[in-house]
Amino acid sequence: MKILVADKISPKGVAFLRQQPGFEVVEAYGSSPEKVLELVKDVHAIAVRSETKITAAVFAAAPLLKVVGRAGVGVDNVDVEAATERGVVVMNTPAGNTIATAELTFTHLLCGARPVPQAAASMKAGQWDRKSFSGIELFKKTLGVVGLGRIGGEVAKRAQAFGMRVLAYDPYLAPSRAKAMQVEAVTLDELLAQSDYITVHMPLTDDTKYMIDEAAFAKCKKGLRIFNCARGGIIKEAALLAALKSGQVAAAGLDVYEDEPLAKDSEFRTLPNVVLTPHLGASTAEAQESVGIEIAEQIADVLAGGVIRNAVNMPSIDAGALKILGPYLDLGAKLGTLVQQIAPAQIATLRITYWGKIGELDSNSVTRAIERGFLRRISGEEVNFVNAPVVLQRLGIQAEVVKSNTDSGYTDLIAVEAIAADGTSHSAQGTLTGKGNQPRIVGINGREVEVAAEGKLLVLENIDQPGMVGAVGTILGKAKVNIADMSLSRLTPGGTAYMVVRVDNEPGEAARAEIKGHPAIKLAKFVQL
């Protein structure tokens, strides 16, 4: 079997692959897109870091391809959807850079407190200037950690060792988990108002993009020091520049940017109170060796027919089982992400119930698909079929699986329920229909609905009164949003009704505000499946 190592990984990882019987390894670093298309015609596996893009065209040109391994966390350079359509496993190494990124973050924190890089540059320029490089201490200061996952947790430990008070904002983190880590769980506004230092450790999603913007900086203490070694775009760069110039932010440290590489004429390069590094989060010898060896081992396992580890697009089941379970995996993932978007941020229990023949199959992989779907917009690229239960546990969420023998009215039915600590719940039910086993949503929050489980949905709860369909349709039409499908549901005339509208494109802010502001509409959620 032929393996293309398209980007430079640890030599030990390459050596491991060469030692496996029956493997031919081709190293082709820095190849052009055209060259990659030529090289992949007879390869069974591809190993990459972040440089080489594995597009739909690459998958189309590689009929023998079984697996793509990313030595690192992010899979932005791999078309995962195209891989899934062709049955190609895409794997990453989510834990390999945890310590490296945490240590780089703390390096930035120290450089934000004590201007060591600036003082070093001054010394090399022949100066002896002690007055210009005075700093402040970390001891007894307050650090706000936005996102308390693996890396955020490691940063918090180091801050505690320096005698810092640690606040944490993570809307999905259970209070018990925060208490166990000896940090104070607070709201984002409380963190902004109280922190002397802020570091962000969230994935970049629709919810976290520009999480720290002009309004956020206005809520902070004057003289804040802020750092981003997670993903460019969590902090709005234009807002940060303005805050640095005004003195609202005293210092910043950035390892990631909205557009990479950072433009040569970027204004950040001219500011003396900003320390910049070129996306070095995982750039330690130990991290690179770890992820290089790990991805080599994972690729070898897949090609040898062994266990699939850290797959981002499919569970570890064989091809025969995948053919049977594939439609259920798709349905489960969509139910999971639907429930996450209609439920409150903080829940205590995720309950999954199966009816019918799906309960007789090995539904563990479907459970993992549901959990991964639920976490997709929370944990981003880090979550996969292998680590989804661990990520839920880290957030303090208990997972429950029930196989029911009662009559659901369907041949197969899956229900996903998110239950808050106070007992309130939000749920969705789905089944497969038609010859193609198409996923369909048949229930939301206890109401019967009927809508395809795909695309973009508006989930509305409203007072059951005449004209509601027309009112919503008029608002969407005015906003140039086309309706693809609609389902209506009510329990009693004149009570409350549910309206699920599948749309071709996302309504703008003005349209959403108008819908939410309608006096008869009690709940409005926009959901992306």
What pTM, to 2 d.p., does this model score? 0.68
Residues designated catalytic: 231, 260, 279
Point out which residues pair with 351 in neighbouring strands. 400, 417
Statement to judge: residues 365 and 438 lie in one domain: yes
Residues 505 and 432 in one domain: no
Q: Is the pLDDT of residue 314 over 90?
A: no
Q: Give me the residues paired with residue 398 across strands.
A: 349
Same domain, 19 and 78: yes
What average pLDDT does the segment 37-54 reach?
95
pLDDT tens for 88-126 read 889 999 888 899 999 999 999 999 999 999 999 999 999
434-447: average pLDDT: 87
Together in a domain, 266 and 363:
no
- 197 shares a domain with 66: no
- Are 118 and 265 part of one and the same domain? yes
* 419 φ/ψ sector (left φ>0, alpha ψ -120 to 50, else beta): beta
Same domain, 477 and 346: no
How much is the pLDDT for 381?
62
Residue 317 pLDDT more than 90?
no
Sheet holding 165-169, edge to edge: 184-185, 165-169, 142-146, 197-200, 224-228, 249-254, 274-276
Does residue 175 sit in the same domain as residue 79? no
My answer on whether 114 and 261 are in the same domain is yes
Q: Are residues 259 and 294 in the same domain?
A: no
Report in angstroms the alpha-carbon separations of 381 from 205, 230, 313, 388, 477: 10, 12, 11, 11, 35
Question: At 424, which amino acid appears?
Answer: T
Determine which helix (DSSP H) or strand (DSSP E) holds 485, and give its type and residue range. strand 483-490
CB 231 within 8 A of CB 203: yes
Convert 327-379 into a string of H (helix), E (strand) and C (coil).
HHHHHHHHHHHHHHHHCCCCCCEEEEEEEEHHHCCCCHHHHHHHHHHHHHHHH
Domain that holds residue 59: 1-93+284-312
Q: Taking a C-beta distance cutoff of 8 angstroms, is the pair 160, 182 a contact? A: yes
Quote the number of domains for the chain. Answer: 4
Q: Which residues contact 18 (CB under 8 A, 6 or more apart)?
A: 25
For 318-360, the pLDDT digits (tens) are: 556 667 888 888 899 999 999 999 999 889 999 999 998 887 7
**Average pLDDT, whole number, for the chain?**
91
Residues 378 and 463 in one domain: no
Domain of residue 359, CATH code: 3.30.1330.90
Least confident of 70-79, 140-149, 165-174, 486-495: 486-495
Mean pLDDT of 445-474: 90
CATH number for the domain harbouring residue 112: 3.40.50.720
Asked whether 109 and 275 are in contact (CB, 8 A), the reply is: no
CATH assignment at residue 505: 3.30.70.260
Q: Is the domain of 137 the same as that of 238?
A: yes
Which token pair is 96?
A: 């390999």
Which of 61-65, 376-380, 389-393: highest mean pLDDT?
A: 61-65
